Amino acid sequence: MSQQKVTVRILDRDYHFACTDDERASLLQAAEHLDATMRDIKAANSTLLPEQVAIMAALNISHDLMQCQNANRIYADGVSPQLRQLRQVLEAALEDNAADMPA
């Protein structure tokens, strides 16, 4: 895959990245999310230095990510036993069907 240069603007500063065509859209979306998060923090705390805004944004985004991961884990833990049970039912039905078929 070929790399292309992408420029994103975060808090009125340009940052240049190299990424593949497949990564471009998600990189731009992530940059927009980061910029919006940092602008919200800066608006609420106008005395913060840009580095402090970046740390707060990183912490907020990391916290959101961890909450999503925990929710996914809880969901997966709840669904896994049901999927195992469904698989057993399907396998038993397939075995019964195979036994009923003439050889």
> What is the arithmetic mean of pLDDT over 65-91?
87
Pick the CATH number of 3-100 from 3.30.70.100, 3.30.160.880, 1.10.150.130, 3.20.20.80: 3.30.160.880
Spell out where 11-99 has E strands. 13-20
Instruction: Let me know if 60 is exposed, middle or buried by CB neighbors in 10 A (0-12, 13-18, 19+).
Output: middle
Cα gap 9→2, rounded to integer Å: 23
CA dist 87 → 26, 56, 94 (Å): 35, 45, 10
> Per residue in 25-46, pLDDT tens?
999 999 999 999 999 999 999 9
What confidence tier does 89 reach under pLDDT thresholds 50, 70, 90? confident
Cα-based angle 51, 49, 13 (whole degrees, multiple of 5): 65
Instruction: Delimit the domains of the chain by residue range.
Output: 3-100
> Per residue in 48-58, pLDDT tens?
999 999 999 99
pLDDT at 59: 97
> What is the arithmetic mean of pLDDT over 73-84?
82
